[in-house]
């Protein structure tokens, strides 16, 4: 393993992250993206989004993904253009390359956006979203210097194209552990079907009673 590898904790156990804008589409500037019908933010919207990610707390990164064949999508009328593009697997590498490596995000912000904040929002922290004694050992080894040219042939999704075809990235995951077990190494999947566990969500901090009424009782007098 190369020395230029750092640890990042994941809280990705099938979390249904909630937000309204897909950050995974931040780098959809390739010819493939322009040739396919899809709704994606403009370059100005991307910069505004990075500004928000730098200053706002408790934000998360999601993928407004869809699985549709390229020709099938191109044949649809404008009213049926899908809201999203295939990119669950490319979401974090794009965010790291465009965010961390270009000085828009710190490593700590990257980990929070991709892991810790989601775990806290869904009441899974500190079981998820942190590297600590007693937490699930969901960990990614990330090589921040690895150069990768994105092509559909290296991805594992069930789709016949990627809108990021030919995109050059710096920084890429090299190993994934789930509960301490290696489930991916050098792009080779080794996890078995059915090994996932149901994650019961506790009441998140924002939803816990604060010991005071939400409505002033005096309004009923």
- CATH code, domain with 188: 3.20.20.140
For the beta carbon of residue 11, count every other beta carbon within 10 angstroms: 28
Lowest pLDDT segment from 5-14, 73-82, 183-192: 5-14
Secondary structure (H, E, C), 15-55: CCCCCCCCHHHCCCCCHHHHHCCCCCCCHHHHHHHHHHHHH
Number of domains in the chain: 1
Express as a percent the part of the chain with pLDDT over 70: 66
pLDDT of residue 124: 92
Phi, psi of 168 (to 5 degrees): -95, 120
pLDDT at 20 over 90: no
Does 1 reside within a domain?
no
The answer, yes or no, to whether residue 184 has pLDDT greater than 80, is: yes
Q: Which of 79-83, 102-106, 210-214 has the highest mean pLDDT?
A: 102-106
- Greater confidence, 163 or 174? 174
pLDDT tens digits, 119-146:
998 899 999 999 999 999 999 999 999 9
Interior angle at CA 174, CA 172 and CA 179, nearest 5: 120
Query: From CA 25, how far away is CA 46, in angstroms rounded?
Result: 9
Predicted TM-score (pTM) above 0.75: no
Domain range for 73 is 6-220
Q: Is residue 73 part of a domain?
A: yes
How far apart CA 79 and CA 85 sit, in angstroms, is: 16
């Amino acid at each position: 393993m190369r020395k230029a590898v750092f640890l990042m904790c994941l809280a990705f156990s099938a979390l249904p992250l909630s937000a309204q804008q897909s950050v995974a589409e931040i780098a959809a500037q390739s010819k493939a993206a322009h040739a396919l019908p899809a709704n994606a933010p403009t370059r100005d919207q991307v910069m505004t989004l990075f500004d928000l990610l730098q200053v706002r707390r408790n934000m998360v990164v999601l993928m407004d993904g869809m699985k549709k064949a390229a020709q099938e999508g191109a044949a649809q009328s404008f009213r049926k253009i899908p809201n999203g593009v295939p990119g669950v697997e490319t979401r974090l590498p794009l965010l790291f390359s465009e965010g961390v490596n270009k000085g828009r995000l710190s490593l700590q912000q990257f980990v929070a956006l991709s892991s810790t904040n989601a775990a806290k929002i869904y009441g899974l922290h500190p079981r998820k979203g942190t590297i600590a004694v007693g937490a699930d050992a969901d960990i990614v080894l990330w090589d921040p210097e690895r150069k990768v040219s994105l092509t559909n042939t290296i991805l594992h999704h069930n789709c016949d194209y990627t809108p990021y075809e030919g995109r050059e990235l710096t920084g890429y995951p090299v190993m994934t552990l789930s509960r301490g077990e290696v489930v991916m190494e050098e792009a080779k999947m080794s996890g078995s079907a059915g090994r996932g566990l149901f994650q019961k969500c506790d009441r998140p901090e924002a939803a816990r009673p604060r010991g005071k009424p939400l409505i002033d009782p005096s309004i009923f007098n």
